[in-house]
Amino acid sequence: MNSVVNKRQGSSPSVRLGGAVILIGAGPGDPDLITIKAAKYLAKADVILIDRLVSPEIIDLYANPEAVVIPVGKQCSRGIRTTQSSINELLVHYAEQGKLVVRLKGGDSSIFSNILDELETLAENQIEYEIIPGVTSFSGAAAYCGIPLTARQHSKGIRIVTAYKTDEISEETWKDWAKTDDTLIFYMSGQKIREISSKLIQHNVDMAKGLAVIEQATTPQQKTKTFSFQNMNLDELPDFEFVPTLLIIGKTVSLHPKFAWFRELDAFESYFDKTPAALQYAN
């Protein structure tokens, strides 16, 4: 935890001394997947800006009990939204007071998050910062489902993509996705399951590939369903239910039944809707 401290001691005169912002990936849900370095910073934080998709147990277990915890969650499909400009303003506001501010994001803060906006704000305001990686949502989901993302004779690589806005995806891209031997990982695409599958079938996807739909990965409410393109019925694909939902498409999906180790419960409800970052919007 000496990185920010050492940087301040060696700072040039043009850099403001005082507060700092630590951008932390909290992992996909299981609080035990938090990194040691992240836990150390949480224990010293004065202010914590927490995303909606962060386990509430992380705050209970690791955060400074005197820290100010501010929910800044987003879920546009339900009208839950804290504007990015508001988050940026909070980061600057507290850092300029000399506070140690933790910006706690779900998964890894560098993958499908607005970290660039926040980094630009911190740099423009000459605020010290550090980025602490977290267990990515896709690696956590794959591990807890027993799906190797790469494996000999199955997949040599992975691609992390999104089909959130399908109208912006070219036919050439769909063709490339259908033909690649890489494992495809779709973020923010739970509502597009049928459209994605249909497009890949239209572009002659390899029938040896499968689709895994993983909801609320690594939490007690994890739910996994797998389908083969060989006998896929689009009408039988599940409806989007809970955030986060991750899609894995590739040949390694067929390994799930053999290597699944995490016991999934029959009971199924939202895990993250009970967090402080979600409850603030319910009142």
Express each pLDDT in 162-192 by its tens digit: 998 998 999 999 999 999 999 999 999 999 9
Same domain, 110 and 166: no
Please indicate, yes or no, if residue 281 is contained in any of the structural domains.
no
Q: What pLDDT does 272 receive? A: 86
The boundaries of the domain holding residue 18 are 3-135
Q: What pLDDT does 267 receive? A: 65
Please indicate, yes or no, if residue 280 is contained in any of the structural domains.
no
Out of 40, 74, 175, 251, which one is annotated catalytic?
74
Same domain, 27 and 126: yes
User: What does pLDDT average to in each consecutive run of 10 residues of the chain (283 residues)?
Assistant: 50 53 97 98 98 93 97 64 92 97 96 93 97 97 97 94 93 97 96 96 96 96 96 93 94 97 86 62 40
- Distance spanning both ends of the chain, measured CA to CA: 37
Same domain, 153 and 124: no
Q: What pLDDT does 279 receive? A: 47
CA distances from 72 to 30, 88, 276 (A): 20, 11, 10
Please indicate, yes or no, if residue 267 is contained in any of the structural domains.
no
Same domain, 87 and 166: no
Catalytic residue flag (residue 117): no
Same domain, 99 and 14: yes
When divided into structural domains, the chain yields a total of: 2
Out of 51, 99, 108, 209, which one is annotated catalytic?
51
Output the domain CATH number for residue 123.
3.40.1010.10
Please indicate, yes or no, if residue 23 is contained in any of the structural domains.
yes
Q: Is residue 39 within 8 Å of residue 148, measured between CB atoms?
A: no
Output the domain CATH number for residue 197.
3.30.950.10
Q: What pLDDT does 9 receive? A: 42
Q: What pLDDT does 15 receive? A: 38
Same domain, 210 and 241: yes
Q: What pLDDT does 93 receive? A: 97
Same domain, 60 and 157: no
Structure tokens at 197: 């599958």
Same domain, 131 and 7: yes
CA distances from 204 to 175, 233, 247 (A): 8, 15, 19
Same domain, 121 and 237: no
Please indicate, yes or no, if residue 272 is contained in any of the structural domains.
no
How many angstroms separate the CA atoms of 247 and 187, rounded? 7
Same domain, 173 and 79: no
Please report, as a single letter, which amino acid is at residue 76: C
- Enumerate long-range contacts of 222-229, CB under 8 Å, 24 or more apart: 222/29, 222/144, 222/262, 222/264, 223/264, 223/268, 224/145, 224/256, 224/260, 224/264, 226/253, 226/254, 226/256, 226/257, 227/197, 228/254, 229/197, 229/200, 229/201, 229/205
Q: Is residue 166 within 8 Å of residue 195, measured between CB atoms?
A: yes
Q: Which residue has the tokens 């962060």?
A: 54
Same domain, 23 and 108: yes
Catalytic residue flag (residue 199): no
Q: Is the pTM of this model over 0.85?
A: yes
Please indicate, yes or no, if residue 264 is contained in any of the structural domains.
no
> Exposed/middle/buried for 199, CB within 10 Å: 0-12, 13-18, 19+?
buried
Please indicate, yes or no, if residue 266 is contained in any of the structural domains.
no
Q: What pLDDT does 13 receive? A: 34
Please indicate, yes or no, if residue 271 is contained in any of the structural domains.
no
How many angstroms separate the CA atoms of 75 and 80, rounded? 5
Q: Is residue 76 within 8 Å of residue 190, measured between CB atoms?
A: no
Same domain, 230 and 251: yes
- Count Cα atoms within 13 angstroms, Cβ side, for 14: 4
* Per-residue model confidence as pLDDT tens digits over 200-212: 999 999 999 999 9
